[in-house]
Amino acid sequence: MTFSFIKNIAIFGILSLASAVAVSAQDMRPALNLESAKKIIAACEVMAGEKGWRLNIAVYDQGKNLLAFSRMDGAQLGSIDIAMWKANAASAFPRSTKGTADRAQEFPAIGHAPNIAIFEGGEAIFTSDGVHIGGVGASGARGSEDAECARAGIEAAGLRFSR
């Protein structure tokens, strides 16, 4: 083996190690998991049942992926999509859908974005440290009642609906 060959192998090894250290040194972002999504839905179902609301409830992670969904007995079929739009909006933006509706007053184009609800009933999900990790959407009652149920579910999972 030549010195040049050994030197190239050593340089390659050092660069590979430096690259691996840089990747592993990156902070990992918290993620919403299925267990928490199920807790959110279960608590919202309990509250809705006690109040006589028949809701559709969707929970999305921060990447706008559906994690869990529930259609309570008697919930309106038309509210399925609305619950999903609310959850999508709350996972896309770190605020409630009511907050997004307020922003749409200044920037009306927000109201024309696909699959984004601009009415109450969607709540962003945050960790205790204030990291946005997803959104929940409830639909089938009044908007304020949908939002109340979504917030109760988030709190029951040990998470927050505001930073």
Q: Give 33-58 pLDDT, tens digit per residue.
A: 999 999 999 999 999 999 999 999 99
Higher pLDDT: 111 or 120? It is: 120
SS3 letters across 76-140? CCHHHHHHHHHHHHHHHCCCCHHHHHHHHHHCHHHHHCCCCCCCCCEEEEECCCCCEEEEEEEEC
Tell whether the model's pLDDT for residue 21 goes beyond 90: no
Amino acid identity at 58: A
Tokens of 25: 């040194």
Tens digits of residue pLDDT in 130-145: 999 999 999 999 999 9
Find the length of the chain.
163
